[in-house]
């Protein structure tokens, strides 16, 4: 009996710790790896970032979402994309001469260079994109419970311009760059821009 109590005295804390860690990972935050160059210069390929599942999504937040049934090319059930929210539900979004406009106002994009902003962006609005790319939803505004997302490196990003909106229920969480992982500028451009 004494041996059983001794064993349980160290087994129970380990089991409790593992259970708490699993609950935190499932409901609060987890770590993901950035795959590809679409969020450069703010997030690099293979960079590991935290995903806060309880954080509020705002315009310019960087989010992680399950792209399965969002992007037709994402055929695996658990493909995760990292993109920046440009349009919130109800917003109009357009691009003219390398500038983004949300609800008719120019969106400040100091978090990327002129090259990343203008190369591959083009001139469009939600209606023209939905017609050109054959989206199932033809609209001039971001629908309720959906987001319009873009990569920071527009010329290489596969994003909402091509396949449409990200449903709220596909969002895993908001990206936060750990304080030890990168420069203060990159941390600001990912962690602090949500409006």
Query: pLDDT at residue 162 above 90?
Result: yes
- Report the share of the chain in percent with pLDDT over 90: 47
* Catalytic option among 80, 83, 146, 176: 83
Active site residue 38: yes
> Can 95 be counted among the known catalytic residues?
no
Give 14-25 pLDDT, tens digit per residue: 655 555 555 455
Cβ-based neighbours of 112, under 8 Å, separated by 6 or more? 41, 42, 152, 153
Specify the pTM: 0.85
Measured CA to CA, the distance from residue 130 to residue 79 in angstroms comes to 23
Q: 32-191 sits in which CATH class?
A: mainly beta
pLDDT band at 136 (very low <50, low <70, confident <90, very high): confident
Q: How is 108-152 classified by DSSP, letter by letter?
A: P-TTS-HHHHHTTT-SEEHHHHHHHHT-SS--SSPPTTEEEEE-S
Question: What residue spans define the domains of the chain?
Answer: 32-191
pLDDT at 189: 72
Mean pLDDT of 59-88: 94
Report pLDDT for 181: 63
């Amino acid at each position: 009996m004494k041996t059983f109590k001794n064993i349980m005295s160290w087994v129970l804390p380990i089991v409790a710790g593992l259970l708490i860690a699993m609950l935190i990972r499932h409901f609060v935050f987890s770590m993901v790896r950035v795959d590809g160059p679409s969020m450069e210069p703010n997030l690099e390929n293979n960079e590991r970032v935290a995903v806060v599942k309880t954080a509020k999504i705002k315009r310019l937040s960087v989010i992680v979402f399950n792209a399965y049934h969002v992007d037709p090319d994402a055929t695996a059930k658990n493909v995760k994309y990292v993109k920046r929210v440009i349009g919130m539900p109800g917003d109009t979004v357009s691009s003219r001469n390398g500038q983004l406009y949300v609800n008719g106002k120019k969106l400040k994009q100091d978090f990327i260079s002129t090259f990343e902003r203008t190369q591959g962006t083009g001139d469009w609005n939600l209606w023209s994109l939905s017609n050109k790319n054959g989206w199932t939803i033809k609209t001039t505004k971001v629908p309720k419970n959906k987001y319009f997302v873009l990569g920071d490196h527009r010329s290489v990003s596969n994003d909402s311009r091509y396949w449409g909106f990200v449903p709220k229920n596909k969002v895993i969480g908001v990206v936060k760059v750990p304080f030890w992982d990168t420069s203060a500028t990159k941390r600001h451009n990912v962690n602090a821009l949500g409006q």
